[in-house]
Amino acid sequence: MQTNTTPPYSSLVAVGDSFTEGMSDLLPDGTYRGWADLLAGRMAARTPGFRYANLAVRGKLIGQIVEEQVDVAAAMGADVITLVGGLNDTLRPKCDMGRVTGLLTEAVERLAPSCKRLVLMRSPGRQGPVLERFRPRMEELFACVDGLAARHDALVVDLYGAPSLGDPRMWDVDRLHLTAEGHRRVAEAVWQALGHEAEDTDWHTPMPATLPPGWLTRRVADARFARRHLLPWIGRRLTGRSSGDGLPPKRPELLPYEVPPA
């Protein structure tokens, strides 16, 4: 429920993988923005001295998030912590969901006491055969998220249930990451969940219908997707590599945040 007396949160730490890092919301300088940066910018605009850290790294599994990010985030003592993780695990051919939910539980148990407000999410899913294949695992993960939120008084932002974010037009050509418009809508969803007055009351509303692309256009797009994204992704899985190997956290220190120029 929205209120007019939103608590004056003065700091934000974001924990997670590529979704929280901001891929594929690409800026002109080649860096990624994403929903967490957009949210931090809104919060900074109303709170002088607002501080922000983003520990997310693309490709991270929930075990890596727990090992590399959770204790660091807890030690920062931020007002708000966002945690989104586990979805990369569900996309692996061999996925132990008991282990995934156990690690997510461990993360929440460490983070919840360290902040004023912990924010969890039911991640968005792109409509199509990939979602259908992995839907049971995703829904098991989200059931765990709901249960943890109830036990630890955390917020849950339901992106999975938002019709707008299932639309393929909200997803980049890699079919794994949201477009800039998708990230904007996620930022709006979290903003409202934190109690701020809505800037876009229709973020969850589907985009207007358009004619679907023709058969040839779809086949060309499928071939381009397979060449540029699917085959490299399969190669990393077969060799045990990750797109985030060797990359540092996006914003590793909790520092005052100035909104970058558009």
Please, which residues have CB within 8 angstroms of residue 116's CB and are 6 or more apart in sequence? 7, 9, 79, 80
Closest CA to 243 of 225, 253, 229: 229
Task: Give the torsion sign (CA, 251, 257, 261, 262).
Answer: positive
| Alpha carbons 66 and 105: distance in angstroms, whole number | 10
Taking each helix axis from N to C end, the angle separating 97-111 and 129-152, rounded to the nearest 10 degrees, works out to 40
pLDDT of residue 1: 41
**Average pLDDT of the chain to the nearest whole number:** 87
Which alpha helices (DSSP H) does 50-178 contain, by range? 62-65, 71-76, 87-90, 97-111, 129-152, 163-166
- Residue 235's pLDDT band (cuts 50, 70, 90): low
Confidence of residue 206 (pLDDT cuts 50, 70, 90): confident
Q: What's 227's DSSP letter?
A: I
In angstroms, rounded to a whole number, what is the distance separating the alpha carbons of residues 162 and 167?
Answer: 10
Per mean pLDDT, which range of 95-99, 182-186, 190-194, 214-218 is the poorest? Answer: 214-218
- What was the pLDDT predicted at 226? 52
pLDDT at 3 over 50: no
Binning pLDDT at 50, 70 and 90, where does residue 61 land?
Answer: very high
Tens digit of each residue's pLDDT (9 = 90 or more) over 120-147 = 999 998 887 767 888 999 999 999 999 9
The length of the chain in residues reads 262
Confidence check: pLDDT of 20 > 70: yes
pLDDT above 80: residue 194: yes
- The half-sphere exposure of 70 on its side-chain side, counting CA atoms within 13 A, is 23
For residue 208, the model assigns a pLDDT of: 77
Report the predicted TM-score, pTM, of the whole model to 2 decimal places. 0.86
Bridge partners (DSSP) listed for residue 256: 51
Query: Which segments of 159-258 are extended strands (E)?
Result: 251-256
**91 Cβ partners below 8 Å, 6+ apart?**
134
As a whole number of angstroms, the distance between CA 182 and CA 170 comes to: 5
Residue 107 pLDDT class (50, 70, 90 cuts): very high
